Structure 1
Amino acid sequence: MTTTEAAAATPSPAPAPPFGRALCAMVTPFTAGSGHLDLDGAQRLAGRLVAEGCDGLVLSGTTGESPTTTDTEKAELIRAVREAVGDRVPIVAGVGTADTPRTVELALAAQKAGADAVLVVTPYYSRPPQDAVEAHFRTVADASCLPVVLYDIPGRTGTRIEPDTLLRLAEHPRIVAVKDCSYDFLGVQKLLARTELAFYAGCDEHNLALYAVGGAGYVSTVANVVPGQLRAVLDAFDAGDTAGAARSQQRATELIELLMCAGLPGTVTVKGLLNALGLPAGPVRAPLLPAGRETVDALLAAYERLVAR
């Protein structure tokens, strides 16, 4: 085999994920009693997450209770977390709403506050057809200088970003990634083969599976409480220890299920567990209600089993 032939036979290394591999969908801490934004708590939580292995932080997403925080609070949160973590990790700011002009305003405000990218969810409730979905994302991507992460979560929005729509959106120079909660594993694999979009698992049970077929990593709610344990899954896989990666993912499954698949929103369960561990979280905002004692006890037991291994 000639040198030219050998070079052609060697696969090119995968491009580096645009925001790192291990991202946390961070909760938004509120103060006990008043329920005001707890910026000190947010800074302490962000510092802990970065120290324990998170490559990036996603603020004001679903887990961050974006529907019940004000535009001012969203900008304040970005500034406070940026102050806490400096330039050590990227900050991705959730700006998606059901209203295109307001989403543009939030994207511009996030850019001004110091975000590195924006997370834009499919417009919800109005159930726009695919040409309107595409126009919405293009309008937001055209409006600011920040990279855009599309957020495909039809279980909450009622509307899927269809694969053909994603193929067209992938041509936009600032649309660079997708947080995938579509539960369409086959469709995602086809898109990975046909685009350069970075796909991040948005459902913790898919963290390893998506990474193994070429995903960029994850945006994890569970990482709020066990950032190191989840990162260890990707580290083992990258080191060639696929069996070890599988074992680490399996060990986390009990806690993932209790936090994300037990009938309560992940924000509720994660905040319940964080509060029980003495970490910054505080209450959830209405209409959400706090996790009950029985739920928290079960979460604590599963957490202790995981960290003891």
Structure 2
Amino acid sequence: MTLFGTNLVAMVTPMHPDGTLSDTGLAGLVDHLLATGCDGLVVGGTTGESPTLTDAESARLVHDVAVRAAGRARVIAGIGTYDTATSVRRAREAEAAGANGLLLVCPYYSRPTQAGIVSHCTAVADATSLPVMLYDVPARTGVAMELPTLLELAEHPRIRAVKDAKGDLFEAMTVMSRTSLAYYCGIDELNLPYLASGAAGVVSVVGNAFADRNASLIDAVRRGDLEAARTIQGALLPLVEAIMRTSQGAIMAKAALAELGVIPSAAVRSPLLESPPAHLQRLTDALASMAVPV
């Protein structure tokens, strides 16, 4: 667990309205996440708008977050692409930039066979000395990491964890029972059931705004206090719905952070568009509900 932390946040990438990276926004976001109990910072993942980041921007983000965090949280670099050679290069650049681990998404769009997924992930894991967290998100990639694939990849000494955004809890429990892979819930709606089933932690989008609530949820489950855990998760539900079930997680997480004054702008890069008024109202109402202590 300590390889990656337990209360991880899939960080947004703060930007100016013209689409350039915001150094001030990034520094403020890292400080906010550390202050609210985040012990793992996932940089340049899906929520960080990775498809729109250049290689240079990705490496710069990892470096700047690592410097700002100064060892107070693990820095996990999203380096996965649909091209193995590019993913290998990005992995090496992330290691040089100061990453503590790698987030490796299943190759998207090209829809490789399961053998191709194993080959891709093995090549990336062989490229650096960093531990690897696999990212299984078939709704985005078009192909899932199947059970035999996960079992095979678990044999690699540097493949140590899975961010599961597939939502097959039975499969997750099966893999956890048969391997040493640490599972992290990558679906904010299902954080509680995953944690109760043995997940090591969460990789949360909603945690951009309220990582402290996720920290309390993880602690409650670890104490065996499921009643407290249900209360915490119940209080989070309006915000989870507003961020994850309106336009898009990255868009709404940025809107929440801007509303809270953590980042100066909710700007996103095309093809993403900022939140429409109806979504912002739902978000404002959900944020107001978070002022009620649990």
Same fold (TM over 0.5): yes
Q: Distance in 1 between matches of 2:173 and 2:230?
A: 19
Q: Deviations over 1:29-82 (max 9, x none)?
A: 0012x2111122111101110111001100000100000011101111111111
Q: In structure 1, what is the Cα distance between the partners aligned to 2:35 and 2:260?
A: 17
Residue among 20, 44, 47 paired with 2:5: 20
* 1:246 maps to 2:209: no
> Hey, what does 1:4 align to over in structure 2?
none
- Please report the RMSD computed on the Cα atoms of aligned residues, expressed in angstroms: 1.1
Deviation digits for residues 257-305 of structure 1 (CA, Å, limit 9, x no counterpart):
121122x110111112222222215300000110012211210111111
Distance in 1 of aligned mates of 2:110 and 2:85: 15
Contact 2:106 2:137 in 1 (8 A): yes
- The answer on whether the counterparts of 2:122 and 2:153 sit within 8 Å (CA) in structure 1 is yes
Q: Residue 279 of structure 1 corresponds to which residue in structure 2?
A: 262
Q: CA deviation at 1:166?
A: 0.4
Aligned to 2:57: 73
Amino acid at match of 2:147: P
Secondary structure of 2:275's partner? coil
SS in 2 for 1:57: strand
Secondary structure of residue in 2 paired with 1:211 = helix
Q: Which residue of 1 aligns with 2:148?
A: 164
1:208 aligns with 2:192: yes
Task: Determine the structure 2 residue equivalent to 1:147.
Answer: 131
Q: Paired residue for 1:265?
A: 248
Which of 29, 33, 38 is equivalent to 2:14?
29
Q: CA deviation at 1:17?
A: 4.5
**2:75 paired residue number:** 91
Paired-residue identity, %: 43
What is the distance in 2 between the residues matched to 1:176 and 1:41? Answer: 31
Answer whether contact 2:266 2:274 (CA < 8 A) is retained.
no
For residues 307 and 289 of structure 1, what CA distance do their matches in structure 2 show? 28
What's the CA shift for 1:225? 0.7
**Partner of residue 90, structure 2:** 106
TM-score (normalizing by structure 1): 0.92
**Superimposed CA distance per residue, residues 107-164 of structure 1 (whole angstroms, 9 cap, x where no aligned partner):** 0000000000010101111100000010000000001111111000000000100010
The corresponding residue for 2:116 is: 132
Deviations 1:230-280 (A, max 9, x none): 211111222232210111011111211121122x11011111222222221
| SS of structure 2 residue aligned to 1:308 | coil
For the pair 1:42 / 2:31, whether they are aligned, the reply is no
Q: Distance in 2 between matches of 1:49 and 1:181?
A: 22
| Partner AA of 1:162 in structure 2 | E
| Equivalent residue, structure 2, for 1:52 | 36
Give SS of 2:103's match. Answer: strand
Do the aligned partners of 1:18 and 1:198 also contact (CA within 8 Å) in 2? Answer: no
CA contact (8 A) 2:10 2:43 kept: yes
Query: In 2, distance between residues paired with 1:239 and 1:191?
Result: 24
**Alignment correspondent of 1:5:** none
One-letter amino acid of the counterpart of residue 67, structure 1? P
C-alpha distance in 2, partners of 1:142/1:273?
Answer: 38
Query: What letter is aligned with 1:218?
Result: V
Q: CA separation in 2, counterparts of 1:171 and 1:199?
A: 15
- The code of the aligned residue for 2:262 comes to L
> Which among 169, 176, 182 is matched to residue 198 of structure 1?
182
Name structure 1 gaps, 5 residues minimum: 1-15
Instruction: Note closer, same or farther for the CA distance 1:194–1:185 as it changes in structure 2 (3 Å cut).
Output: same
Secondary structure (helix, strand or coil) at the match of 2:95 reads: helix
